[in-house]
């Protein structure tokens, strides 16, 4: 309703004859013209003054919070003109058209048509009776009252009913109560003030399974809008909406569109690797920009409109665009955090028979980890433990990720896993101490052959040493340089058959 009032006010202009301000139909807007209005949504400090002649109004402190442009068109060029055959002027509301009739005695609001409720339906709302917006001519001291309304039925699928009927009855009291000089950010005008008080009753019916019932009735309290009419501005120099106590709530004012400084804005896309972050910034400023200055937040700049830039280090950077033209400039800044793709790495350590501790050694600040142990098991912990059930060679992979991307590294691990019962009751060898620190003693107890070969390797299959062992022979092997962990020994005869195997624990 508020937007509609502003639109309707736009179609009246005035002439000044010997101090008498008169509404004259000959100066009304024509099809093809447009007028811009700014709205101050918090205009509580506006002084609307009193009724009477020779008033002074200063609205110069009003601020542009929103901007609307009223575009007047020939109704014959609109898709719903057939529903309003007497219309000779229409206002393009983008989603609908407001149809008007201007004649020698009045300006009438015939109705509106389009997607009025944003539900994808084209709805025609015909005022019956039509709304009397202005009497022509209108002078200071004139007054009139009017009643008009709409009664429409729309498909109710959007509300899960058969149909929805909306009925509105509106009463309007209009009085032209003052004239004088008005100053706004758009200029200074001789103006005629019109006070329009509107009240309405809204009723909603819904039809379900063929039965119609009243769903809601709203008896809306009166609202008052002051309209300041002037020449050369499409009819309305300013409007002020009042609350129930007569105090200003919001205001709008005409202004002339002209060259202005751009409003800076941009969009950004980035692509990270393990070495750098490539950034593409694209200008999204208003179209009257002629010069660009980018600050990438690391001391480097560019004057291109849509530059590509590369960061070699991860971090948070404040990127700013200053957009300029002959009128002025405007700067927009935004913080962006970039990450290099992680470089994955890990180590592993035998804790017990088949049990390994994996330790993440990834660089470049990973935030997520995904382990694949090569035996069908996985983990998302940073430093997981995992038990392998059987001996074998496993491909263990770590995928490390962050906001920059992800990367994967894999290593093959060969394991010897001893099951219970694999160690024979009658030992061929005696190993002590076990666990060991600096050395181990190995004694051949009762070899059934003259000699055999002893091989010791770590949990990854790396050979640590091998010796020839004879019956009743004692060996001492130094382990001072061996890392802590579990080691495996194997005793083979000359034919390569394994005679015995076992574990040795080295603890530092």
Give phi and psi for 257, each to the nearest 5: -65, 135
- The predicted pLDDT at position 235 comes to 80
Whether CATH 2.60.40.10 fits 346-415: yes
Residue 4 per-residue DSSP state: H
pLDDT of res. 1:
39
289: its two tokens: 């920009």
Confirm if 461 and 488 have CB atoms less than 8 A apart: no
The matching CATH number, chosen from 2.40.50.100, 2.40.50.140, 1.20.1070.10, 2.60.40.10, for 266-338 is 2.60.40.10
**pTM higher than the cut 0.95:** no
Q: Tell me the C-alpha distance between 169 and 177, whole Å.
A: 25
Q: In angstroms, rounded to a whole number, what is the distance separating the alpha carbons of residues 163 and 161?
A: 6
**Amino acid 19: pLDDT:** 47
The residue length of the chain stands at 508
Q: ∠ CA 481-393-424 to the nearest 5 degrees? A: 75
> What local confidence, expressed as pLDDT, does residue 9 receive?
43
Q: Which residues of the chain have pLDDT under 50?
A: 1-19, 423-426
Give the whole-angstrom CA distance, residue 180 versus residue 228: 10
What region, left, alpha or beta, does residue 81 occupy, with left being phi > 0 and alpha being psi -120 to 50 degrees? alpha
Sequence spans of domains, the chain? 2-255, 266-338, 346-415, 429-506
Tokens of 315: 């971090």
Q: Which fold has domain 429-506?
A: Immunoglobulin-like (2.60.40)
Give the C-alpha separation, 290 to 205, whole Å.
Answer: 56
Q: Supply the CATH classification number for the domain 2-255.
A: 2.40.360
Work out whether the CA dihedral 339, 342, 343, 347 comes out positive or negative.
Answer: positive
- The per-residue pLDDT for range 32-57, each reduced to its tens digit, is 888 889 999 888 889 999 999 999 99
Would you state the pLDDT for residue 328? Answer: 87
What is the C-alpha to C-alpha distance for residues 306 and 298, in angstroms, rounded to an integer? Answer: 18
Q: How many CB atoms are located within 10 Å of the residue 80 CB? A: 19
Q: Give the DSSP letter of residue 340.
A: P
Tokens standing for 40? 């101050």
Q: How does strand 266-272 pair with strand 248-255?
A: unpaired
Rounded-to-integer distance, Cα 109 and Cα 166, Å: 19
pLDDT digits (tens, 9 = 90+) for 447-465: 555 678 899 998 888 889 9
**DSSP string of 103-140?**
-SSEEEEEEEEE-TTSSS--EEEEEEEEEEEEESS-BT
Topology alike, domains 266-338 and 429-506? yes
A 10 A CB-CB count for 256 gives 10
Taking phi first (over 0 means left), then psi (-120 to 50 degrees means alpha), and beta for anything else, what does residue 367 get? alpha
On the CB side of 262, CA atoms within 13 Å amount to 23
Structure tokens given for 371:
């382990």
> What pLDDT, on the 0 to 100 scale, is given for residue 448?
54
């Amino acid at each position: 309703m508020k937007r509609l009032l502003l639109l309707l006010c736009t179609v009246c202009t005035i002439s000044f004859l010997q101090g008498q301000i008169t509404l004259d139909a000959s100066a009304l807007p024509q099809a093809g013209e447009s007028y811009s209005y700014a709205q101050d949504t918090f205009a509580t400090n506006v002084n609307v003054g009193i009724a009477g002649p020779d008033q002074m109004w200063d609205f110069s402190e009003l601020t542009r919070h929103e901007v609307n442009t009223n575009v007047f068109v020939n109704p014959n060029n609109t898709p719903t003109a057939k529903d309003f055959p007497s219309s000779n002027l229409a206002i393009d509301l983008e989603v609908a058209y407001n149809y008007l009739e201007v004649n020698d005695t009045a300006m009438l609001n015939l109705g509106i048509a389009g997607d009025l409720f944003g539900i994808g339906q084209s709805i025609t709302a015909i005022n019956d009776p039509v709304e009397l917006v202005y009497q022509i001519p209108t002078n200071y001291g004139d007054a009139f009252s009017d009643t008009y309304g709409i009664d429409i039925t729309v498909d109710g699928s959007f509300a899960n009913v058969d149909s929805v009927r909306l009925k509105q009855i509106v009463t309007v009291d209009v009085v032209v109560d003052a004239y004088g000089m008005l100053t706004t950010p758009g200029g200074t005008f001789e103006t005629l003030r019109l006070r329009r008080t509107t009240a309405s009753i809204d009723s909603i019916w819904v039809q379900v399974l063929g039965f119609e019932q009243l769903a809601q009735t709203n008896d809306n309290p009166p609202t008052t809008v002051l309209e300041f009419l002037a020449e050369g501005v499409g009819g309305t120099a300013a409007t002020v909406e009042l609350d129930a106590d007569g105090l200003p709530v919001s205001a709008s004012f005409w202004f002339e569109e002209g060259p202005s400084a751009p409003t800076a804005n941009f969009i950004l896309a980035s692509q990270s690797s393990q070495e750098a972050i490539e950034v593409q910034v694209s200008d999204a400023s208003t179209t009257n920009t002629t010069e660009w200055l980018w600050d990438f937040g690391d001391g480097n700049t560019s004057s291109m409109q849509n530059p590509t830039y590369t960061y070699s280090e991860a971090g948070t950077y404040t990127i700013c665009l200053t957009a300029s033209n002959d009128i002025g400039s405007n700067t927009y800044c935004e913080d962006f955090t970039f990450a290099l793709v992680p470089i994955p790495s890990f180590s592993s350590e035998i804790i017990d028979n088949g049990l390994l501790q994996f330790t993440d050694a990834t660089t470049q600040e990973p935030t997520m980890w995904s382990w694949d142990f090569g035996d069908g098991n996985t983990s998302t912990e940073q430093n997981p433990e995992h038990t392998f059930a059987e001996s074998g060679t496993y491909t263990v992979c770590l995928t490390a990720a962050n906001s920059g991307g992800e990367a994967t590294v894999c290593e093959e691990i060969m394991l010897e896993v001893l099951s219970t019962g694999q160690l024979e009751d009658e030992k061929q060898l005696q190993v002590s101490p076990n666990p060991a620190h600096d050395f181990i003693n190995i004694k051949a107890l009762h070899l059934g052959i003259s000699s055999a070969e002893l091989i010791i390797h770590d949990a990854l299959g790396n050979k640590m040493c091998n010796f020839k062992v004879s019956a009743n022979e004692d060996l001492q092997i130094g382990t001072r340089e061996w890392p802590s962990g579990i080691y495996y020994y194997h005793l083979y005869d000359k034919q390569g058959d394994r005679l015995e195997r076992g574990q040795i624990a080295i603890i530092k």
